[in-house]
Chain A
């Protein structure tokens, strides 16, 4: 990965990495070795005027130390609600039901109240959001926003904190950090602001970084810079990262594992390379094909996913993707497939790859289902099937 700027690795980074190693060596009562964040069977339901929205349905994930896990989904997939639940920004209330547990390093976050969460936030878990303007205070200088935490958590003197702030800004590739600390957020460009929020996130050397669509609001050339910066810092500091995005392409070279969400559920999860090489869930396959290619001839007829993401007020029965799936059979309409490991497939899938489908892509059953649908011209759900729908 290319370093976007000419800055030298800083002591901040080195210290942080050292701290983590020391903590690991101490080896105090950790649950499973290396599991940093465990999400177990999380449900979120909203009660609205029009009925119940089951936004997240039984999502389980594990994030190991130093790992980058990407959660990918379109709008309405529940990824945002899921992330907010993990962050503790959504809790149970009269309109909201939450179930399941979120455990961070032995602490059950989902049981903590706002005060308890505050102890973990910032110190252990840091956050980078889509719009840096919302996480920066518009009437405070950049420097003050960084030193505030340092003085609070690390009991640094004002002077040391200032020096550290400059150092942090340099480590995230901001030019002229001495000048930046005296500026206000509105004086910076979008990419520079995102660098500042990353600097603030790093100020307490967190062990987990939650990045919710960190580059969606940015231009493509800046997006590449920020993603590289995040990846670079992540590997240097040994942080774990949960990267939430709608764009499969941006996580291709920047994640260890990917979880694809659809209609509130994880429909496929796999090591990144394996997911791209051999997707099993038809939705993942369709998502990859729907992106216009950047090589090859132009005016290519794009593979279309018919219909649109389901209405979570009344999700389809059976497999949630069945109304849009080119392979759908009768079984898909009635029975919801469980999350099954790919290693059970005859071809022998990779460890850690699981999917939710009765007719997984790349199997004889899938080919047979496709043949049957093409023959009758429509899927079991009544969606028309043409030869061009998915490249065979």
Chain B
């Protein structure tokens, strides 16, 4: 695919015009045209994240869901500036992290914390639990508070500080290690907690404990959560809004229940209907094929190779993010409207009643402004 089509993506300004138009300081984290690429050897490039626009509101839980290789974890790490993204910007509390020096970014880190997938690997096997949890305090010159703060945090995550005092990580189960990780992330009292697959390495019976704990901690510490996971049931339960990613792009964004009950993007429909359900049989169609390699993603809409509704237009034009219903955004030329999961989908959706985006589109395509492709994209 040509680099021109690749560059132009959904527009940030669409998202700014969310329906209930809250005040700007309500948004704690804003991603604009975020691009992350890695060299893949032999001169090739992995397009891990290709232009994402996303806003996270203060106090909400935003779920980021997709299959492995869709770039969701890369997005999480790009927010943390670990490593710094290739392009675009991450605004945290109104400050553009890309424009800051490494030292300035470091100074902001206590407000932006992360927990990881593998609970065992998240903890240094050679250090004791209180040292692990207290280390962020020492780093920020608050080592003196350690004896006071660490036991409090440990108790908050459901661990007995006296009993963990001399223990090392390998003496704990996965669920307990994840509690320690959460305690370490909370000890600096962050504003935003990015959870990268925090329960996928745990047994079902332990998963629920950690999910409940995250909800408790969110309330107690007033956190904003970005919850990255591939398990849709888990994401559905914990998130206020969900963004679905496919091959480095967001294909749908909306309030959790609406998005799961009546997905608009064909990929979301496939994803939701693939969930094995406790209630009974599969809820709908089973797709074919697998996600193409992010080294050479398809042109136009990246889902078109597996999409039952794909047309020629999908190969030529990158679909723009647009609001198809209040609060619901999708990047699709043929969104499926008013159809619950499991019902057959009607293709041939040509005249979609969408919010006209021309004005905001012009402003929003500034990230891709260098190439002319973006301007010809809007439908008249």
Chain A residues with CB under 8 Å of chain B are 2, 4-5, 74-75, 173, 175, 189-192, 219-225, 227-228, 246-250, 252-253, 276, 286-288, 290-295, 297-306, 308-309, 324
User: Which of the residues A192, A287, A293 comes within 8 Å of B233, measured between beta carbons?
Assistant: A293
Q: Measured between alpha carbons, how far is A211 from B241 in the docked complex, in Å? A: 37
Q: At the interface, yes or no: B277 with Cβ under 8 Å from chain A?
A: yes
- At the interface, yes or no: B211 with Cβ under 8 Å from chain A? yes
Which residues of chain B have C-beta atoms less than 8 A from A219's C-beta? 67-68, 230, 290-291
In Å, the complex CA distance between A97 and B351 comes to 70
Contact across chains for B230 and A304 when beta carbons are under 8 A apart: no
B288 within 8 A of A: yes
Given the complex, which residues of A lie within 8 Å of B189, measured CB to CB? Answer: none
Residues of A within 8 A of B260 (CB): 294-295
From A75, A189, A227, give the contact of B290 (CB < 8 A).
A189
17 contacts between A and B (CB under 8 A): A2-B285, A220-B275, A221-B67, A249-B277, A249-B278, A292-B207, A293-B233, A294-B236, A294-B272, A294-B277, A298-B236, A298-B256, A302-B211, A305-B209, A306-B209, A308-B203, A308-B205
- Sort A-B residue pairs by CB-CB distance and give the 4 closest, nearest first: A249-B276, A302-B208, A219-B67, A305-B205
A298 touches B239 (CB 8 A): yes
Query: Contact: B288 with A302, CB < 8 Å?
Result: no
* Cβ contacts under 8 Å, A223 to chain B: 274, 276
Contact, CB under 8 Å: A221 / B274: yes
Contact indicator A304/B208 (Cβ below 8 Å): yes
B204 and A300 contacting across the interface, CB-CB below 8 Å: no
The 8 Å CB contact of B286, one of A2, A75, A292, is A2
A246-B203 contact in complex given A220-B67, A224-B274, C-beta closer than 8 Å? yes
Closest partner residue, chain A, to B69 (CB atom): A219
Residues of A within 8 A of B173 (CB): 308
Chain A residue, CB-CB nearest to B67 = A219
Q: Is the CB of B215 within 8 A of A297?
A: no
Closest to A3 in B: B286
Q: Would you call B206 an interface residue if the criterion is a C-beta within 8 Å of the partner chain's C-beta atoms? A: yes
Given contacts A221-B270, A246-B204, A293-B233, contact A304 B212 (CB under 8 A): yes
Contacts of B253-276 to chain A: CB distance below 8 A: 256-257, 260-261, 270-272, 274-276
Residues of A within 8 A of B236 (CB): 292-294, 298
Q: Is B206 a contact partner of A294 (Cβ separation < 8 A)? A: no
Q: Which residue of A lies closest to B207 (CB)?
A: A290
Per-position contact with A for B119-131: 1 when CB-CB < 8 Å, else 0? 0000000000000
Q: How far is the CA of A295 from the CA of B272 in the complex (A)?
A: 11
Please give, as numbers and ranges, the residues of chain B lying within 8 Å of A2 by CB-CB distance.
282, 285-286
Docked complex Cα distance between A287 and B206 (Å): 10
The CA of A224 and the CA of B212, in the complex, are separated in Å by: 28
| In the complex, residue of chain B having the shortest beta-carbon distance to the beta carbon of A224 | B274
A223-B275 Cα distance, complex, nearest whole Å: 9
Query: Known interface pairs A4-B288, A219-B67, A304-B209. Does A250 touch B276 (Cβ–Cβ under 8 Å)?
Result: yes
Query: Does B56 belong to the interface (CB within 8 Å)?
Result: no
Q: B310 an interface residue at 8 Å Cβ cutoff? A: no
Contacts of B231 in A (CB 8 A): 220, 292
Q: Which residues of the other chain, A, contact B68 by a CB distance below 8 angstroms? A: 219
Q: Are A222 and B290 CB-contacts (below 8 A) given A74-B205, A288-B278, A290-B208?
A: yes
Cα–Cα, bound, A297→B258 (Å): 10
Q: Is the CB of A224 within 8 A of B286?
A: yes
B373, CB-defined interface residue at 8 Å: no
Which residues from 178 to 229 on chain B have a C-beta closer than 8 Å to any C-beta of chain A? 203-209, 211-212, 215
The listed residue (B206, B233, B257, B271) touching A292 by CB distance below 8 A is B233
B residues near A (Cβ < 8 Å) are: 67-68, 173, 175, 203-209, 211-212, 215, 230-234, 236-240, 256-257, 260-261, 270-272, 274-282, 285-291
| Chain B residues whose C-beta falls within 8 Å of the C-beta of A300 in the assembled complex | 237
Cβ contacts under 8 Å, A301 to chain B:
212, 215
* Cβ A291 vs Cβ B278 within 8 A: yes
A287: B residues at CB distance < 8 A: 204-205
- A291 vs B207: C-alpha distance in the bound complex, in angstroms? 8
Complex Cα gap A224–B285 (Å): 10
List residues of chain A with CB within 8 A of the CB of B285: 2
A18, B209: Cα distance in complex, Å: 51
Per a CB cutoff under 8 Å, which of B211, B234, B278 touches A252?
B278
* Most chain A CB atoms below 10 A, which of B205, B275, B277: B205
- Complex CA–CA separation, A308 to B202 (angstroms): 11
Given the known interface contacts A252-B276, A301-B212, A304-B208, the answer about A292 and B288 at a Cβ–Cβ threshold of 8 Å is no
- Residues A221 and B205 in contact in the complex (CB < 8 Å), given A252-B277, A294-B232: no
Report the bound CA distance from A228 to B281 in whole Å.
12
State A144–B204 Cα separation when bound (angstroms). 40
A255 to chain B, nearest CB (A): 12
- Separation of A324 and B205 alpha carbons in the complex (Å): 10
The reply to whether B233 and A291 contact each other, CB–CB distance below 8 Å, is yes
Picked from A75, A225, A298, the residue with its CB within 8 Å of the CB of B287 is: A225
Kindly state the separation between the CA atoms of A176 and B289 in the bound complex, as whole angstroms. Answer: 12
Residues of A within 8 A of B287 (CB): 221, 224-225
Query: How far, in Å, is A133 (CB) from chain B's closest CB?
Result: 15
B238-A290 in contact (CB<8A): no
The CA-CA distance from A219 to B231 in the complex, in Å, is: 9
Chain B residues contacting A74 (CB-CB under 8 Å) are: 203-205
A130 nearest CB across to chain B (Å): 15
Q: How far is the CB of A321 from chain B (nearest CB, A)?
A: 11
Q: Which residue of B lies closest to A228 (CB)?
A: B286
Residues in chain A near residue B271, CB distance under 8 A: 220-221
A303 touches B208 (CB 8 A): yes
Residues of the B chain whose Cβ atoms lie less than 8 Å from the Cβ of A175: 289
**Residues on the A chain within 8 Å of B232, using CB:** 220, 294
Query: In the bound complex, how far is the Cα of B256 from the Cα of A220, in angstroms?
Result: 19
CB distance B237 to A299 under 8 Å?
Answer: yes
Most buried by B among A175, A292, A295, A299: A292
- A198 to chain B: closest CB distance in Å? 15
Identify which of A190, A295, A298 contacts B279 (C-beta below 8 A).
A295
Partner of A302, one of B212, B261, B280: B212
Known: A219-B230, A302-B212. A292 touches B274 (CB 8 A): no
Contacts of A227 in B (CB 8 A): 276
Q: Chain A residue with minimal CB distance to B270?
A: A221
Residues of B near A222 (CB, < 8 A) are 67, 290
